[in-house]
Amino acid sequence: MRSSGGFKRRHLPEVTAGSEAGVKFAKLRVSGSSQPRPVVKRPVDKKDIRKDLESQVDAFLREGGKIKPIERGETGLDRNKPWSNPFQSGQSHEPPKERTPVPEVLAAIDSRKQKESRKVKNRGPKKVWIYDDFGEPVRWVWKEG
């Protein structure tokens, strides 16, 4: 198999000896340097996942497992309860538990909250438009805050 660019991929020998435990290094000679360089793992892509799933299915079949074919349109939901919610966590028939009221706890929490006092700052004079009878601005005047 050839990769793009016409070059064949070479697998480099990995050596686990390094300054940090668990970091894999490959010995490369780059322009006369013999310093080990960390190997960068390529991210997992769809091909890798597909190959992994295929190998798991093959191992299952080799051990004597069988795959039952399912017709198109079949579902795992019960036909007798077509509108039941499959994601509902409590499928039991127990009545819901009553909640215990705790008004004193809520009152204590509310009392600890600090109410912000809004101070109105006198910002000085304000520019206000004066309009004529037709709603058109005539002039503006300064009014105290």
| pLDDT tens-digit readout, 14-73 | 444 444 444 455 554 555 556 677 788 888 899 999 999 999 999 999 999 999 998 898
Q: Which of 16-25, 103-112, 120-129 has the lowest mean pLDDT?
A: 16-25
Kindly state the helix (H) or strand (E) to which residue 102 belongs, with its residue range: none
- Furthest-apart CA atoms within the chain: distance in Å: 94
How many whole angstroms from its chain centre is CA 29? 41
Asked whether residue 143 is domain-assigned, the answer is: no
Asked whether residue 33 is domain-assigned, the answer is: yes
pLDDT band at 95 (very low <50, low <70, confident <90, very high): confident
Beta partners for 139? Answer: 130
Asked whether residue 19 is domain-assigned, the answer is: yes
pLDDT band at 144 (very low <50, low <70, confident <90, very high): confident
Q: Which pLDDT score, from 0 to 100, does residue 41 have?
A: 85
CA distance 69 to 123: 78
Phi then psi for residue 58, to 5 deg, are: -60, -40
Asked whether residue 98 is domain-assigned, the answer is: no
Average pLDDT over residues 86-97: 67
Q: What share of the chain is helix, strand, coil (3-state, %, to 5)?
A: 20, 15, 65
More reliable by pLDDT, 141 or 27 = 141
In the chain, the amino acid numbered 126 is K
Asked whether residue 136 is domain-assigned, the answer is: no
Asked whether residue 118 is domain-assigned, the answer is: no
CA distance 26 to 18: 10
Domain extent, residue 57, equals: 14-62
Asked whether residue 43 is domain-assigned, the answer is: yes
Q: Which pLDDT score, from 0 to 100, does residue 16 have?
A: 45
Asked whether residue 92 is domain-assigned, the answer is: no
Give the closest residue to 37 by CA, choosing from 11, 15, 54, 65.
15
CA distance 143 to 131: 15
The total domain count for the chain is: 1
pTM listed for this prediction: 0.28
